A = this chain, B = another copy of it.
Amino acid sequence: MQYEVEQKFPVDDLAAVAERMTALGGTISEPQTEIDLYFAHPARDFVETDEAFRIRRKGEKHFVTYKGPKIDTTTKTRQEIEMPLPPGESTFDGWKKMLQALGFTPVSEVRKSRRKAHITWQDCEVECSLDDVDRVGTYVELELVVDKDQLDAARACIAALAEELGLRETERRSYLELLLTSQSLDR
Contacts and interface: CB of A to CB of B under 8 A. Distances in A.
A75 to B, nearest CB: 20
A83 to B, nearest CB: 5
Given A81-B94, A85-B83, A98-B83, A103 B66 contact: no
- Give how many copies assemble into the complex: 2
Interface string A85-110: 11000010011011001110000000
Interface residues on A, range: 20 to 34
Contacts of A43: 42-43, 103
A68 B66 CA distance: 24
Interface string A57-85: 00000001010100000000001010111
Interface in A19-74: 41-44, 53, 64, 66, 68
Contacts of A86: 84-86
Interface of A: 41-44, 53, 64, 66, 68, 79, 81, 83-86, 91, 94-95, 97-98, 101-103
A115 to B, nearest CB: 26
Closest 6 A/B residue pairs (Cβ) = A43-B43, A81-B98, A42-B43, A66-B101, A83-B94, A66-B98
24 contacts: A41-B42, A41-B102, A41-B103, A42-B42, A42-B43, A43-B43, A43-B103, A44-B103, A53-B102, A64-B98, A66-B98, A66-B101, A66-B102, A68-B101, A79-B101, A81-B94, A81-B97, A81-B101, A83-B85, A83-B94, A83-B95, A84-B86, A85-B86, A86-B86
